[in-house]
Each structure stands twice: as C-alpha cells, then as structure tokens.
Chains A and B, each alone.
Chain A
C-alpha cells in the first residue's frame, strides 16, 4: 500500500487542475500549442489552445458547467472556438443542448481512464470582435506555451 490515491479508480475525484492537465495533454496530442490561465478582460481562461492561426478557449469544470457557460460569454469576443471541458461520468444532455445552441464545443475527460474526446465539436465563432482579439493576442503572446 503506497497510500497514494488510485487515479485510475472511477471514484477518484479529480481536481480542476488535474482535469486541465489531462485535457491539455489531449490537445497537445492533436497538435495544439497550449497555454494555461490566460487573462481575458478580468477573467482567467483555463486553457488557450492555438493551432495555426486558430485560437480555441477552454473553460474547464469538474462539475459546474453552468458557470462555465457564463464564463464563455467573455471568450466570444476573442476566440475563434469556444469550448467547455468537463470531467463528469456522462456528458449532461442539458449541457450538450445549451452548448450546441451557443456554438460551443464540449470536451469530455472520462473518469478513471482520463481519456478525452470531443463530445461536441465547436462551431466557428462569428461574434469575435477583432480589436479585442488583437489585444488578447498580445496578452497570451506574452505567456509561454507549455510543452
């Protein structure tokens, strides 16, 4: 007995920080550059993932996805794709419905296996406001992406 919690156990309750890292690993495997905790107009975006010229913002929540939906509103001004990352056992239908309506993507990280998948792919955000995006690019450009 090592005394260490078994993170492969489905009952193991992951912290938001752990979830962020599992999702970031998945994104890196899919050729994204990843930055954490990027400030955006007084909020902090959990993950900013870039691939080529496209920028994706991801709010990660272990359970409270409704709060994530609210936080994502500020990302609409700056990100090409807006996503929510969750770690629930199942992806709530209500989340999928609301995210679909808003055009947000949903990334699901399964408990136990920590395998991530797109439960819903995001649509290209049409609400982007370029002047704010340029400001934000300067902000996250000043933060090193993590390998």
Chain B
C-alpha cells in the first residue's frame, strides 16, 4: 500500500533537497500560492531544472485574506508583496480588501461574486507556472511535453474553519467546490479542509464536513489542521484526524493529502491506519505541523531525528538518550542501533565521536540589560547534516510504511517504546503509545 510522499516548498535555499536522498523520493511538491505569484520564473526553473517532472500542486492560500490585516502585512504595515501579487491575481473582492479588511463569509454570499473569484483562482493555478515554464530559457532545449506541465490538481479556494466559524465558512467552501468542478470539468480538482483542533475534536463538525464533501465529485482533498503536532496531540484529537480523513476518503474514492503531517499520518496512510489518507506532505524544516497564521521563528537549535522515536529532538537531549543507552561507544554500534543512513555514515566516518558534528554551533555575545548573554547558533553545516539525516529517515519511513505488514509497523512502535521507555521516561515515548492505540483501535479504560 503505497503512501505518497510530498514535500512543501519553503524557500529557494531548500530547493536542492527535493532530489534528496534520491531524485524520485517525492511524489510531488506543494507550492504556496504567494511564492508562485511572487517568483514564477524562479519556481518554473526549480520545476524544470532542479526537479525534472516532479508533479506540483499550488496551495491557493485563500485563507490569507480572512485573517486580520496585520497577518499579511510587513513591518512597515504594507501588504507583503507576494500576497499583494496573489490578491491581484484573484481580483475582487480580494484585491480591494487585502490588508484593509478581512474577507467574511458574507463577502461571498452572491454567486456573482464567488463564481468569478473561484474561476480566477483556478486560472491562476492552471497557468502561472505553466506559462513561466513555457517562457523559460531552458524551454527551448526541451520538448513541449516536458515544459507544458499543468498542476497535479487544481485546489478549490478555501477558508480556515474553527469550531465557531465552521457553520459560516463551510457553505462557502462547499459552494466554491461545486463551482470549481463545473469550471474545470476535465481537470483533477481537490477541495481543501483547513480547520482548528477544536473543530477536529467535535464529532458533529467532522460529520458535517464529511457530508458536505461526500457528494461532490472532487478527485481529492487537502487536509490541514492548524498547528497540529502529532507528538503532542491527545488520542482524542488523533482519532478525530483519522475519522475525518477516513470520511473524506469516501470509501477510498478520493485522495486525501495531509499538508503538514508526521509519522502518525504516514502510518494512517498505510496498512496500519487502513489507508485513511493517500499521502502526507512535510517541509524540509520544521514542517510536520504548521500554524495557519504564521508565527515567529525563535532561535534555531540543532535537532536530531531519533528514528526509533520518530521525533526530531534537541541535540543535547538526543546525546543524553544515546549516551545513556551506550550507543555512542562505537560507530558500528551507532549504525546498528541508531541510524545507518548515508548521512550518518558520512558524518561519523567510522568514529562515533563525530556525532558531535550534529550539534556543532558557534556562539555570539549579545549585550542585554543584565550584562552579556552568549547565544549559540548551529552552523550551516550542522543544520545541513541534521536536515539530510532527517530527509533520509523520512524517505525510509514512507518506504517502510508502504511495504511493511501491519504487524511489522506495530512492532516498530513497540521497539521504540521498549528501547527508549527507560531512558526517556514514560512521557518521552507516550506519543508512540498513543499512536499505536489510536491506529489499532485500542480504548484505554482509565
């Protein structure tokens, strides 16, 4: 049972990772609409030159216009240029309201308003990168079919729904989907369900969403739960995700791609989760969960992905756990017990002492009110090592889930619990317990 592995495009600096560890690792790339609007030539070059023939979906990011104006403004109080370009492509009512007033469900009450907006949104996705690819310098060296690449699917304009606003936004999303299907009868059309954890937790809301999407002839649905960290989520919330996703799959008739998911979602898409999703996307950096409204980054620290825990944890915590397990005593032990991926082998180069390279950093002195504070930053090489190891492991997780039996997948979770339960404490492995219970339908009595 194959699980589609998608990656979300963040910045141009990350584009080299879309062919790592292999050129065919990813089924596709999710590109933010504002990025496509802002730098179509760069995105076209990425698709043609860096990732030949990688399918793509443009996330239209229509939700950006429903938040308060400051969410899309820069520090000077102007609408960010990329969002401005997106607004221009979408036309009115978005164009005039962007940065002035959020759009409301009633903004789209009239079909005469909603229809042209939906049409322009689809038109944007259909053509923005396709045209840029046809006009690119490399196009003349390629056959037409190599440059005329439409998106994998067109995405219906969507809006973020919380437990309070779902009643008002769901009809708009549904109507948009109905219109999109008629405007693009020969193309693959995906709906999008973007909601809060509060909405996800409510049985009635999930049922309402599933019902609304069930009778639409959509090819698939993009799913995004706001700021949803599978490692921290309760079993109730994960059950909700599974239930919603299964419902949207409509007995396997529709594709469901979780836009920001981790290993739980990968398992949900595999045999253990009964193919509740068809694919899962993540970003190269911090991309297994994402808030709908962007938040600040904070100080970057090195994180090492512990394969058994299926979690990216701070380098110092990883070191503490691995040292306690005595798995840093030699490179051979490390590779057999922790990770034998190409990046770890190259980094350790036969000497487990080189594990320190995953935590290498430099410090800068910053003057604060009470004196000098020294703040550490991982070096670029450290960030790259951690990232490449992470991407290696993610590729292995998708492959494992696509081919392993239910029993093997369950055993893998059990091994994580058994290996790290003692050193990480019950809390350190509780996400594995919860994932296993939710995916195998176990109900705890207390």
Contact = CB atoms under 8 A, between A and B. Distances in A.
Contacts of A63: none
Contact of B361 (A39, A73, A127, A129): A39
Contacts of A76: 320
A131 interface: yes
Nearest to B323: A129
Contacts, number: 63
A74 interface: yes
Interface in A44-82: 44, 73-74, 76-77
Contacts of A37: 371-374
B437 to A, nearest CB: 28
Nearest to A73: B320
Interface string A20-46: 000000000000000001111111100
Interface in B361-382: 361, 363, 370-376
A115 interface: no
B302 interface: yes
Contact of A38 (B315, B323, B360, B374): B374
A143 B359 CA distance: 19
A60 B301 CA distance: 23
A17 to B, nearest CB: 5
Interface in A68-125: 73-74, 76-77
Contacts of B301: 42
B326 to A, nearest CB: 10
Nearest to A38: B374
Prevailing SS type, chain B contact patch? mixed
Nearest to B376: A39
Q: From DSSP, what is the main secondary structure of chain A's interface residues? A: mixed
Contact of A131 (B314, B320, B356, B361): B356
A97 to B, nearest CB: 18
Given A42-B314, A76-B320, A77-B320, A129 B328 contact: yes
B216 interface: no
Contacts of A38: 374
B355 interface: yes
A15 B302 CA distance: 31
A38 B353 CA distance: 22
B422 interface: no
Contact of B363 (A15, A39, A77, A127): A39
Contacts of A39: 361, 363, 374-376
A42 B302 contact: yes
A145 interface: no
A132 interface: yes
A131 B353 contact: yes
A44 B368 CA distance: 14
A77 B316 contact: yes
A143 B374 CA distance: 10
Interface of A: 15, 17, 37-44, 73-74, 76-77, 127, 129-132, 135, 139, 143
Interface of B: 301-302, 314-317, 319-320, 323-324, 328, 352-356, 359-361, 363, 370-376
Leading 4 A-B pairs by shortest Cβ distance: A131-B353, A41-B316, A42-B301, A74-B316
